[in-house]
Amino acid sequence: MTKHFLNRREDIVTEALDGLLMTSAPGELARLDSYPEIKVVLRADWKKDRVAVISGGGAGHEPSHAGFVGRGMLTAAVSGEIFASPSVDAVLTAIRAVTGAPGCLLVVKNYTGDRLNFGLAAEKARAEGFKVEMVIVADDIALPELAQPRGVAGTLFIHKIAGHLAETGETLAAVAEAARAAAADTVSLGMSLSSCSIPGQAHEERLGAAECELGLGIHGEPGVERIAMRASVSLVETMASRLAATIDDAGDYALLINNLGAVPPLEMGLVARDVLRSPLGRRARLVLGPAPLMTALNMNGFSLSLIRLDAVREAALRAAVGPRAWPVPVEPRPITIQPAPRVDTVDAVTAGSDETAATLIRTVCEHLISLETELNRLDSRAGDGDTGSTVATGARSVLAQLPTLPLADPAAALGIMGATLATSMGGSSGVLLSIFLTATAQRLAGGASLADAFRSGLERVTFYGGARRGDRTMVDALEPALDALAADGVAAAAAAARAGADATRGMTRARAGRAAYVGESNLDGVPDPGAEAVASVFEAVAAMK
């Protein structure tokens, strides 16, 4: 069962709305005293002197809908329980609370429950003398032949356009006409890697590990079709081509990139890049997001929405608003690139051949690359699971540079390798190895022996990194190896390094590195991946013929 933060399932919606209200700016939002049976969030500063814009629906789509209540957008939002339409009484109460002589517009997503409950509330309100219009948003193009498409994230365009026109004093007829026309020019399509889980309910994932869904709703409904997982750019291309088939060949559009709830910002940035580089993205004059705007609880997916622009719609979408959840629209533009400062940290040295040194470097690098999977596995127990990949990346960078290294000058070669690792490896491992090689190179250049130079490199590593022998790091293998190397040679160094690495299996508490934050049960019996890498390198060197 998926875990959730909640107190009681029955209270999660009202308590979440409380959180929104408690963190809003003073005088910005309020709720009606019919709460919690009738959940209506409204503008605290509303004076009923302009057209009111009301929307709502089931909870679980946050920040929609209450998160978009404020100046320039919604006047009030009516919330039901999770994925459940608010009652007729709730909608009617909202109409009564915010509607003055100019009237109100209801913006409704095309789901049966919403249409019926908002529709009956509108009829009752009209019978009471209120001026009420309703616009239904049906922007989902997943099933082109469907007579009643669903309303999804494109609804937010309508909230913004209608809210702006109402804020500027347009009549109810003008606001309703513009909203209906905007809804007719809006299309959306979603993609998900997993279904959402409802707090307090058992969750069963319907998708396989290599499947994703295209054309999903926002209530956990199955997608129109399951497709095979593949690269993001290919998935985006599928969505973009289907959306492009539904819009005009000419004209500019606004593009909304919506996170359905659980896609990490890192991945949403990648999706945005892929979308904007597609032919569809090049049609976008304005871009909103990527951001969670109309979510489906914790659905691991995203949706794309497009609306055809004209001068009125563009002005409405660009206009500043009160709700913080609404993203500032931007015009997509080429990436700005500025030259990075370049400093030659190593004097130019004529490359000299030394086949023994080249073989040694090649052996070490290829061995580290071969350990990538195993080191990642070990690091997954004590860190973030990337030690092997980080080390392999550095090794590949050094291999690529091998033909140009001045191997006849060990100090210069080590200095260049140190500079390479600092930029190619990343993370603390790359910095520490760069420090080790750079300090070693400096001592060699000053006339020190190789053994003394290595000891100097180790001293700098322990100084900057803070780790000592016994702290469960690569120092546990490196220090005894260098001691043995100076006294007894490579074979003894390999044996000492192996003994040091094996000793970390019994160290259930780390005093440096990411493993310092990991519990004893995760460390017991697992060698430190950095120490394991050092020991393996010395063993590979000792085994060279």
Q: Residue 338 burial by CB count (10 A; 0-12/13-18/19+): exposed, middle or buried? A: exposed
Please give the Cα distance from 540 to 96 (Å, whole number): 80
Please give the Cα distance from 72 to 166 (Å, whole number): 8
Annotated catalytic residue 219: yes
For residue 247, count other CB atoms closer than 10 A to its CB. Answer: 18
Q: What pairs with residue 513 in β-bridges?
A: none
Please give the Cα distance from 370 to 173 (Å, whole number): 70
CA angle 321, 322, 323 (to 5 degrees): 100
Please give the Cα distance from 208 to 226 (Å, whole number): 10
Please give the Cα distance from 100 to 417 (Å, whole number): 74
Please give the Cα distance from 411 to 544 (Å, whole number): 23
Asked if 497 contacts 534 with a C-beta cutoff of 8 angstroms, the reply is yes
Q: Which of the residues 65, 159, 164, 219 is marked catalytic?
A: 219
Residue 191, both tokens: 């993609």
- What type of residue sits at position 102? P
Residue 275, both tokens: 């979308």
Q: What is the largest CA-CA distance in the chain?
A: 99
Asked if 185 contacts 203 with a C-beta cutoff of 8 angstroms, the reply is no
- What type of residue sits at position 497? A
- Tokens 């909103």 belong to 288
C-alpha atoms less than 13 angstroms from C-alpha of 366 in its C-beta half-sphere: 10
Which residues are identified as catalytic?
219
